Amino acid sequence: MNLPPIAPHNPWMATATRKRRHVLDLDDFAEQEILDVLDAAVSMKEILGRSVPQVPILRGKTMANIFYEESTRTRLSFELAARTLSASVMNMTAKGSSVEKGESLIDTIRTIQALGADIIVMRHGESGAPYLAAQHFKGSIINAGDGRHAHPSQALLDLFTIREHLGQLKDLHVVIAGDVLHSRVARSDIWGMLRCGMRVTLCAPSTLIGDMQMWKASHPGLRISYDLDALLPHTDVLMGLRLQKERMQAGLLPALREYSTYFGISAERLDHLPKHAIVMHPGPMNEGVEIMPEAADSPRSVIETQVTNGVAIRMALLYRLSGETQA
Amino acid sequence: MKTLITNGIIIDPDTRQMGVGSVLVENGSITARFDGQLPADASVRTAPGTTVIDASHKLISPGLIDLHVHLREPGEEHKETIATGTRAAAAGGFTVVACMPNTRPAIDSVATIQHITNAAARANNAEVLPIAAATVGRSGKELSPMRELVEAGAIGFSDDGTPVSDPAVMRNVFEYIKMLGVPYFGHCEDMVLSKGWGMHEGAVSNRLGLPGYPSAAEEVGIARDIALAELTNSRLHVCHVSTAGGVALIRAAKERGVKVSGEACPHHIVLSDRWVLGWLDEQANAENEPGISLNATTRPPYDTSTRVSPPLRSEADAEAVLQGLLDGTLDFVATDHAPHSRVDKEVEYRLAMAGITGIETALASMLMLVNRGQMNLIDLIVKMTDEPAKFLGRGSTALRVGARADITVIDPQMVWTVEAEKLFSKGKNTPLLGQKMRGKAVLTMYKGHITHHE
């Protein structure tokens, strides 16, 4: 697909001779590296299925979760991934920590480093915050979501789930329906999906997409549509995104009802999908807004599987960054 | 005590001539000028008490003028002081600067003007021309005592980065300054449209997930202020024009006779929003050929030294700003030198204070355009000397007998590296750190005394 080449001067990405240092987004992952992570996650998922799901691969390593925004699934998923690999886990949330006393991000990172963390898993409301952290941390940073920018482990688990259910990635058509303009999940998914040869269409009201040329400049192959119903018969993967109610207050939408009518993932819409098509959602869902409960619970829905697969993907990432040998 | 600067290429911005010559400086003024090669045995060289400075192969320019700097004093002396800021100006080749009123307190009283004038006189590095606040405390409500402020030395008014939002108040400002004959320096921005911005709105902001500052937010501000200047027949100077649309608005307004002028900042011409991508930019130039190109891949993504207001815009905008400067739509070059401390910048991108410290890199940045053949050397010097002088209502800066001895000797071939520890400014916040540049002011003279020499 028409994707820009990976910028060659990034000192943090993997090269033929160098291990990857940080996982900040998928824009610096080549297709082969993505597939390597997915393959490793297959083994990790097998470990999770054992009666005693624990292996000593990361014994002696410490992972710190530092979350500046609330999160349930991502934080617990990383924690479970680390424990399964026998790593120690530190948890820090901004609420109730020295962050509330005005500690800067850099000072927090240095403190976590002094406490012995090898890997920091970080969620932050500001786009780019993990890139700042990465400049001040000797270990590795995994971006668990930064502002509107990126959420690479979510994108990888999405790819893993698609491949698991549909047997391939190349040439499949994904429709990402919802608030892509404000979505870090969409941004990382787009990089990963296009790199793996998938076709991607964004579908949302124009206020939640923004200028098409802004997207096409980074992703010439990306398609944009305002007509979800027209896309459905040609869709292999239908992914919904959370619609925050604040968007309506900000004047980006007339009413949630109008949104649901034209863009909501309803049971009726699922009937127009090809038989094999699956429905995804990164969570947390606003049921009744961007996705109806009947659709979320339908046999096509792989939303819960996404959560389970998230642990395997995060194990694969932790292993890739801190394992003694390359996965 | 006499200083003789010999055998440099003297640039006269008024006649647009360049030729080898020498100038003699005495008691703060130019007392003699010798055109052509000055012989080694010329008696003027050996007159008692004469210091001879050889300027062969160098350019002798009138002292450069920068009508947009932030000196941070009073109130934010940890970022810059009048002494350090003017010392940096001297290192950049400037002998006259105009400072913005976003100090603490704002420059809205005669006492604050006097503080600045006194501190500038003590430092004696450059002439400092205060731009005063148009409204008290830059709050956009009550007019400041503008007539008193002009009598105390203010050269114009601005509410700087918090533009007057109420158009009726803005109209009154324009009406009032008409009586005083001074311009309003507009930081033109619709702050509702730009609310929460991280960087220029475009492909890069979308990729990086940063809230955008659309070009339209600047253009709406420019259009409003042009309309009000036109209504009141008063003077508007548009600061740091950064968008193609902004240049077009000013061009059209000038054509119909509105009293509007504009300035261009070096960073809006030689950099673009792609610099925020840092080494993630797969199209970035990675060669730093001094005087020709910059290596845009040396810095990480989201480097806060690239955050400035108005933001670094698209490459097409940068090209339009340069065109505006070349065709006279934009009258002169100004740096918007905006020093910040480390704590202001070592934070998440959107939370970082906006501003680039630029007074020491401006000349080399602009000379890059000359080296690339995008701009003529004389045009550049005119845009950094006579054009801002004309804007101030002054005569030509040309180095003729009787003129004030504000002189900048430029070595156009000198290759140097922008290093934090070597910058005289307290602010090290520039994306050019580490870049090799070609061309530098090697001697700056203000009122006949040397303020910078290397």
Three-state SS for chain B is: CEEEEEEEEEEECCCCEEEEEEEEEECCEEEEEEECCCCCCCHHHHCCCEEEEECCCCEEEECEEEEEECCCCCCCCCCCCHHHHHHHHHHCCEEEEEECCCCCCCCCCHHHHHHHHHHHHHHCCCEEEEEECCEHHHCCCCECCHHHHHHHCCCEECCCCCCCCCHHHHHHHHHHHHHHCCCEEECCCCCCCCCCCCEECCHHHHHHCCCEECHHHHHHHHHHHHHHHHHHCCCEEECCCCCHHHHHHHHHHHHCCCCEEEEECHHHHHCCHHHHHHHHCCCCCCCCCCCCCCCCCCCCCCCHHHCCCCCCCCHHHHHHHHHHHHCCCCCEECCCECCCCHHHHCCCHHHCCCCECCCCCHHHHHHHHHHCCCCCHHHHHHHHCHHHHHHCCCCCCCCCCCCECCEEEEEEEEEEECCHHHCCCCCCCCCCCCCEEEEEEEEEEECCEEEEEC
Contacts of B203 in chain A (CB under 8 A): 213-215, 217-218
**Is residue B453, in this structure, part of any structural domain at all?**
no
Scanning every residue of chain A, which has its alpha carbon at the shortest distance from the alpha carbon of B302? A128
Is the same domain home to B50 and B110? no
A13 touches chain B (CB under 8 A): no
Instruction: Tell if the CB–CB gap between A127 and B349 is shorter than 8 Å.
Output: yes
B316 touches chain A (CB under 8 A): no
Is the same domain home to B162 and B22? no
**Is residue B425, in this structure, part of any structural domain at all?**
yes
Do B337 and B359 contact (CB within 8 A), yes or no?
Answer: yes
The type of residue at B273 is: D
CATH number of the domain bearing residue B34: 2.30.40.10
Q: How far is CA B113 from the centre of its chain?
A: 20
Q: Which domain holds residue B14?
A: 2-54
Is the same domain home to B49 and B106? no
**Is residue B404, in this structure, part of any structural domain at all?**
no
| A 92-111 residues inside an 8 A Cβ radius of B | 104-106
pLDDT tens-place values along chain B, 454 residues long: 899 999 999 999 999 999 999 999 999 999 999 999 999 999 999 999 999 999 999 999 999 999 999 999 999 999 999 999 999 999 999 999 999 999 999 999 999 999 999 999 999 999 999 999 999 999 999 999 999 999 999 999 999 888 899 999 999 999 999 999 999 999 999 999 999 999 999 999 999 999 999 999 999 999 999 999 999 999 999 999 999 999 999 999 999 999 999 999 999 999 999 999 999 999 999 999 999 999 999 999 999 999 999 999 999 999 999 999 999 999 999 999 999 999 999 999 999 999 999 999 999 999 999 999 999 999 999 999 999 999 999 999 999 999 999 999 999 999 999 999 999 999 999 999 999 999 999 999 999 999 999 9
What Cα–Cα distance (Å) separates residue B411 from each residue in A287, B198, B363? 68, 38, 11
b/e map A122-138, b = 16+ CB within 10 Å: bbbebbbbbbbbbebbe
The secondary structure element, H or E, covering residue A240 is strand A237-240
| A 238-277 residues inside an 8 A Cβ radius of B | none
The residues of A carrying an active-site annotation are 73-74, 101, 123, 151
Beta bridge partners of B410: B59, B441
The type of residue at B266 is: P
Contacts of A150 in chain B (CB under 8 A): 209
Instruction: Tell if the CB–CB gap between A7 and B209 is shorter than 8 Å.
Output: no
Q: What is the pLDDT of residues A193-246, one digit of tens each?
A: 999 999 999 999 999 999 999 999 999 999 999 999 999 999 999 999 999 877
**Is residue B212, in this structure, part of any structural domain at all?**
yes
Instruction: Tell if the CB–CB gap between A134 and B343 is shorter than 8 Å.
Output: no
Do B8 and B55 contact (CB within 8 A), yes or no?
Answer: yes
Instruction: Tell if the CB–CB gap between A129 and B297 is shorter than 8 Å.
Output: no
Is the same domain home to B340 and B283? yes
First to last CA, chain B: 21
**Is residue B445, in this structure, part of any structural domain at all?**
no
Q: What is the mean pLDDT of residues A120-139?
A: 97
Scanning every residue of chain B, which has its alpha carbon at the shortest distance from the alpha carbon of A104? B347
Does the bond joining A274 to the residue before it have cis omega, within 30 degrees of 0? Answer: no
Instruction: Tell if the CB–CB gap between A132 and B348 is shorter than 8 Å.
Output: yes
What Cα–Cα distance (Å) separates residue A278 from each residue in A38, A39, B189? 19, 21, 47
CATH number of the domain bearing residue B211: 3.20.20.140
Scanning every residue of chain A, which has its alpha carbon at the shortest distance from the alpha carbon of B346? A106
Is the same domain home to B324 and B386? yes
Residues 6+ apart with CB under 8 A from B328: none
Contacts of A27 in chain B (CB under 8 A): 207, 280
- In chain A, the domains with their CATH numbers are 31-150+308-322 (3.40.50.1370), 152-302 (3.40.50.1370)
Contacts of A13 in chain B (CB under 8 A): none
Q: Is the pLDDT of residue A326 over 70?
A: no
The secondary structure element, H or E, covering residue A270 is helix A267-270
Select from B203, B210, B279 the Cβ nearest to the Cβ of A217: B203
Could you give the ipTM of this predicted complex?
0.96
**Is residue B358, in this structure, part of any structural domain at all?**
yes
CA distance B263 to B159: 17
B292 touches chain A (CB under 8 A): no
Domain tally, chain B: 2
Q: Where are the alpha helices (DSSP H) in A115-151?
A: 129-134
Is the same domain home to B142 and B50? no
B192 touches chain A (CB under 8 A): no
A222 touches chain B (CB under 8 A): no
Is the same domain home to B36 and B179? no
Is the same domain home to B132 and B192? yes
Instruction: Tell if the CB–CB gap between A10 and B280 is shorter than 8 Å.
Output: yes
**Is residue B449, in this structure, part of any structural domain at all?**
no
Instruction: Tell if the CB–CB gap between A214 and B202 is shorter than 8 Å.
Output: yes
Q: What is the pLDDT of residues B246-256, one digit of tens each?
A: 999 999 999 99
Do B274 and B283 contact (CB within 8 A), yes or no?
Answer: yes
Closest approach of B199 to chain A, Cα-based (Å): 11
Do B22 and B69 contact (CB within 8 A), yes or no?
Answer: no
Is the same domain home to B71 and B196? yes
Is the same domain home to B40 and B87? no
**Is residue B452, in this structure, part of any structural domain at all?**
no
Scanning every residue of chain B, which has its alpha carbon at the shortest distance from the alpha carbon of A9? B279
Is the same domain home to B45 and B182? no
Is the same domain home to B42 and B145? no
pLDDT class of A323 with cuts at 50, 70, 90? low
CA distance B439 to B454: 13
Tell me which residue of A321, A316, A318 sits closest to A39, measured CA to CA: A316
Beta bridge partners of B189: none
Contacts of A134 in chain B (CB under 8 A): 300
